């Protein structure tokens, strides 16, 4: 770790940068705001969908009132048709960290995208994992012609761990990961280990919010209902009307793709909303699985949230 980076961080009065993560609807936004206010910090979002402009309700971006309470960064970075990946996020995140530390302000990261959290914690160097772009394009054309099933089967044969971490509906990630594995002749674990040889750029401390599963699922269902009341369907119609390729990350976002069959007249609105709730619950389960496989996570139970003080672990 660069001593200059540590020196800049210590000028904030702390020796580590917190990352507050958790599944969807776990209350991490409100907890992060409360924590950031006590630390005189600013929030950096760690969410692969909140980086897109125009997608607000379905990505649960902080409200204008919440942004007035505490400044938020790393949201609304690109339009939905712009490619954006983990490497793009790290570049933006490091730039924002440097900017905040130059002002002697501590960043507090908040989000539920496991890949982004892991990349920050481990310090991925994506230059160390070359990918054959022609192969990736060939796989994309194969998907457009024949679907994802056979590509996904080959991915699992190469790296069985991917079955737990990558859903077949996330076609863009399936294609990219298979191309990466075939380009490097390794597994995702091999690539992670070789890509983190330089370590993280800053020291991070991870906090994860945990709820009893049944209560979390109730919160998810309720939040979907609230999103529908707030105009999620209109937002989905806007995204649908952009006619983006189906493998664009924004088109894969939970909260939008489930409503497309209603927009196309293929399913009732109730069927689509029920599917959205189911997919959101499934996603929360995958998020928890990801975080439980990460190193050195400080778990915060729902009962502890009101009184939990993260600052004690940042010195």
The pLDDT value recorded for residue 311 is 92
Of the residues 157, 175, 195, which one is the last residue of a structural domain?
195
Residues 182 and 212 reside in one and the same domain: no
Per DSSP, the three-state class of 109 is strand
Residues 116 and 150 reside in one and the same domain: no
Residues 223 and 117 reside in one and the same domain: yes
The pLDDT value recorded for residue 122 is 87
DSSP letter at 63 equals: P
Nearest C-alpha neighbor of 93 from the set 109, 70, 81 = 109
CATH number of the domain encompassing residue 203? 3.40.50.300
Strand extents, DSSP E, the chain: 17-21, 42-45, 72-73, 107-111, 204-210, 297-301
Specify which residues 73 forms β-bridges with. Answer: 44
Residues 103 and 240 reside in one and the same domain: yes
Residues 303 and 212 reside in one and the same domain: yes
Q: Which two tokens stand for residue 281?
A: 């619950």
Q: Which H or E run contains 95?
A: helix 86-102
Residues 70 and 170 reside in one and the same domain: no
Number of folded domains that form the chain: 2
Pairing type for strands 72-73 and 107-111 reads: unpaired
Residues 149 and 265 reside in one and the same domain: no
CATH number of the domain encompassing residue 190? 1.10.20.140
The pLDDT value recorded for residue 125 is 59
Q: Which H or E run contains 153?
A: helix 149-158
The pLDDT value recorded for residue 187 is 64
Residues 251 and 105 reside in one and the same domain: yes
Range of the domain at 186: 127-195
Residues 154 and 51 reside in one and the same domain: no
Residues 149 and 247 reside in one and the same domain: no
Residues 23 and 172 reside in one and the same domain: no
The pLDDT value recorded for residue 86 is 84
Q: Alpha carbon 218 to chain centroid distance? A: 22
pLDDT tens sequence for the chain (315 residues) = 788 999 999 999 999 999 999 999 999 999 999 999 999 999 999 999 999 999 999 999 999 999 999 999 999 999 999 988 888 899 999 999 999 999 999 999 999 999 899 989 988 755 445 577 778 888 999 999 899 999 999 999 888 888 887 888 888 889 988 888 876 655 666 665 555 556 789 999 999 999 999 999 999 999 999 999 999 999 999 999 999 988 788 998 999 999 999 999 999 999 999 999 999 999 999 999 999 989 899 999 999 999 999 998 997
Of the residues 141, 176, 195, which one is the last residue of a structural domain?
195
Per DSSP, the three-state class of 204 is strand
Of the residues 195, 221, 247, which one is the last residue of a structural domain?
195
Residues 136 and 120 reside in one and the same domain: no
As a whole number of angstroms, the distance between CA 102 and CA 20 comes to 22
pTM for this entry: 0.81
The pLDDT value recorded for residue 310 is 95
């Amino acid at each position: 770790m660069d001593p200059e980076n540590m020196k800049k961080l210590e000028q904030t009065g702390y020796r580590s940068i917190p990352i507050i993560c958790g599944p969807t609807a776990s209350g991490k936004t409100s907890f992060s705001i409360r924590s950031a206010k006590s630390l005189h910090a600013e929030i950096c979002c760690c969410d692969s969908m909140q980086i897109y402009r125009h997608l607000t309700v379905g990505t649960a971006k902080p409200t204008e009132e919440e942004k007035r309470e505490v400044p938020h960064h790393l949201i609304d970075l690109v339009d939905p048709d712009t490619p954006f990946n983990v490497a793009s996020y790290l570049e933006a995140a490091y730039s924002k960290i440097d900017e905040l530390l130059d002002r002697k302000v501590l960043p507090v990261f908040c989000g539920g995208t496991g890949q982004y959290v892991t990349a920050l914690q481990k310090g991925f160097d994506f230059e160390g994992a070359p990918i054959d772009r022609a192969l990736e394009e060939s796989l994309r054309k194969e998907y457009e012609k024949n679907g994802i099933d056979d590509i996904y089967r080959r991915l699992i044969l190469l790296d069985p761990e991917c079955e737990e971490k990558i859903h077949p509906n996330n076609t863009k990630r399936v294609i990219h990961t298979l191309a990466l594995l075939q380009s490097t002749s390794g597994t995702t674990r091999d690539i992670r280990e070789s890509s983190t040889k330089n370590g993280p750029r800053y020291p991070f401390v991870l906090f994860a919010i945990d709820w009893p599963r049944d209560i979390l699922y109730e919160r998810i269902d309720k939040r979907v209902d609230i999103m529908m009341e707030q105009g999620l369907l209109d937002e989905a119609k806007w995204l649908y009307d952009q006619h983006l390729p189906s493998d664009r990350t924004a088109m894969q976002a939970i909260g939008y793709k489930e409503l497309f069959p209603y927009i196309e007249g293929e399913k009732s609105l109730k069927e689509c909303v029920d599917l959205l709730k189911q997919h959101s619950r499934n996603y929360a389960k995958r998020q928890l699985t990801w975080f439980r496989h990460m190193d050195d996570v400080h778990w915060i139970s729902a009962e502890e949230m009101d009184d939990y003080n993260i600052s004690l672990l940042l010195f």
